[in-house]
Chains A and B, each alone.
Chain A
């Protein structure tokens, strides 16, 4: 049987090349692995190896030929020393690629329209988080997170907690208080200071069917582990065609604390919100923290749970329920209003709420939306509100460039342009690394006054 040797593509981008040198001649016996020729690609000179055994029947393209297109027959090999006098007898493979290209072209032209980046709007869900009349108790965000984790670890044996100082020290910020005593060291695991490594181990454990909760002492340190979070945790479900993913929670305090300087004061909301495959949660109140944490632990995807150190000690009412969860992608209207929509999340909500209160005293009725999750994001509730108030101010502690506010502003412009009576204003932290000095730090952070100024601007007061 005669086999045509085809001009190979030897780089991801090669379309043609120079057949610079033949290392065999007609009549030579070759076996798999023998080097047949040197071929110059767009990048380098490559050796071309035989993959079949046989006798070189005829060389079709002489050495020194430039511009030989990929998949051109360059020589004929006969497997058992067949008579090669008629080289045109075996034109087999060259159609393969053409066929392949046709296939691709057909697929691309297929009428089926896959869904796109266009936002799918569901009606705004304004149902309350808990039934009316239920007993409430006051607790801190810290206690709410602790309680949520304990409840979920009691519910599911596969859930475990891993991180620096989570067990014996009971958490650098005391979120994991009492958990070692309750669950033992098999399920509450102290790690060495090695974020990259333990994040990767936790992702591997999730591939193995467990449901890890990874505590980062702060999200600043998770930058050491960001490759594992994005390349391993977020992408594996897709890359495996749905066979395996990473059902797990990465959690810890995010954003500026107080006087800890540039490397310990950064808001990662917009960073993680960009990544398909992740879900991103930014609780504000204790009820958010509890209900969303329980949902996060049960979710089958990698969750980025961005807490805030300053909020840990704040108290809020939490419903007393056996199993209180909050679905992702459901924003909460914390204050109803008519004149302007203020959209925020996490610690940003403290400025938004304070601003709304002061604005009310000035006769401006602000509607305050607490997003709670940034991926998925509840566009419907925002747009519904903006169409009513015709004005929007976004509030977040992170930097201005590529912020969540930028994305919301663009979305509102696209979906509710005709409803706007003023441009959307993004209130953000200043575009500087966080300074240490108290006066400069104050200047770098977002303030309630920033929000009030922005609202007055969009309401033309």
Chain B
């Protein structure tokens, strides 16, 4: 992975570092538990795990403020946890229960939280990219300085609508950060086999959108890049592209045997580049935390995740009447300016 960016002296407080550790670990343990519940038949259909990619969303979220928006594709559990959605509600949606964020009607790929400005959770590769630009459009229309984080993968980066969106986002100076989470495989097709040029961060150049490549296994590098991109967008200078090089340890979805890459490739990444281990080692060598401190955090996270899993198992299945609700919004009051 040819990413030059490494931080010599991290500009980060011990507290922030501990938060990163905690947030990334929550995603990892949550996803492992989701995998387990899938194995037990409690989660059905497609389930795409974020394991390995934790530093991307945690680093990016560190530069957000209230009012900022985020939207992503179907590998979305990490994004929801990182923006503060309740693990219980997310897990209950995965098990298709009434207490899930979408009352069990969305599932793993289609989850939303208006409260946390999380706009999905979209199952169609690339389709969330214009939607994200549209969210940014709504903020620009209102004249505030909110930014929309629009996440998509290296696979989606070859969709036509992405470039239609780049064009309009640049033309209209929309405050949107296009985050390309390049985990190097679009399902089973490696980037080399699908993409004519290797550097996705240059994909905005033709539209005049600045781009940058970031080591997505290093949460501090992601944080720094996120701050830069956010300040660009908030200042009204228009969109920004971040290609965040990352790696997913698991298959594309739960049913993917991942035969398109070697076990060694995965092992090497886990052993040498793991985002959580990197922070763990920074915390220990910098004497910001002891082994016991980290063990206590591990235990706390495990408890949170187990609690979410129990909640998701105990929550009732949706009432049958739910089949017929939320098709039309007529019960909502009509908003006027």
Contacts and interface: CB of A to CB of B under 8 A. Distances in A.
B41 interface: yes
Given A97-B41, A158-B335, A276-B327, A236 B120 contact: yes
A232 B138 contact: no
B240 interface: no
Contact of A239 (B105, B320, B323, B332): B105
B299 to A, nearest CB: 12
Contacts of B252: none
Given A45-B257, A208-B69, A200 B129 contact: yes
A28 to B, nearest CB: 16
Interface stretch (B57-65, B163-171, B194-202, B209-217): B163-171
Contacts of A99: 313
**Which bracket fits the contact residues of A?**
35 or more
Nearest to A231: B124
Interface string B110-133: 111110000111111001011111
A424 B249 CA distance: 60
A209 B138 contact: yes
Interface stretch (B30-38, B76-84, B280-288): B30-38
A242 B320 contact: no
Given A104-B317, A112-B319, A200-B127, A51 B335 contact: no
Contact of A201 (B120, B121, B130, B320): B130
Contact of A232 (B41, B46, B127): B127
Interface string B211-237: 000000000000000000000000000
A114 interface: yes
B16 interface: no
Contact of A200 (B141, B165, B323): B165
A347 interface: no
B120 A199 contact: no
A440 interface: no
A14 B44 CA distance: 11
B161 A11 contact: no
Given A71-B41, A96-B40, A115 B324 contact: yes
Interface string A42-65: 011111010100000000000000
Nearest to A189: B172
Contact of B138 (A192, A205, A237, A241): A205
Contacts of B262: none
A156 B138 contact: no
Contacts of A43: 255
Interface in A196-220: 196-211
A33 B255 CA distance: 17
Nearest to B129: A200
Given A6-B40, A97-B42, A32 B134 contact: no
B149 interface: no
A157 B337 CA distance: 5
B29 to A, nearest CB: 8
Interface string A392-410: 0000000000000000000
B102 A240 contact: yes
A26 to B, nearest CB: 21
Contact of B112 (A104, A228, A240): A240
Nearest to A42: B255
Nearest to A276: B327
B106 interface: yes
20 contacts: A11-B254, A43-B255, A46-B251, A97-B40, A100-B313, A107-B317, A107-B320, A110-B320, A113-B320, A156-B337, A158-B337, A191-B168, A194-B167, A197-B167, A200-B161, A204-B119, A204-B135, A228-B131, A236-B112, A239-B120
Across the A-B interface, give the 5 residue pairs with the lowest CB-CB distance, nearest first. Answer: A204-B134, A200-B130, A208-B138, A8-B39, A197-B164
Given A96-B313, A103-B317, A241-B104, 7 more contacts: A97-B40, A107-B318, A204-B136, A231-B127, A238-B105, A244-B112, A279-B328
Interface of A: 6-12, 14, 32-33, 35, 41, 43-47, 49, 51, 70-71, 93, 96-97, 99-100, 103-104, 107-108, 110, 112-115, 155-158, 160, 186, 191-192, 194, 196-211, 227-228, 231-232, 236-245, 247, 276-277, 279, 298-301
Interface of B: 28, 32-33, 35-36, 38-42, 44-46, 51, 69, 71, 95, 100-106, 110-114, 119-124, 127, 129-139, 141, 160-161, 164-165, 167-168, 171, 249-251, 254-255, 257-259, 263, 270, 313, 316-321, 323-330, 332, 334-337
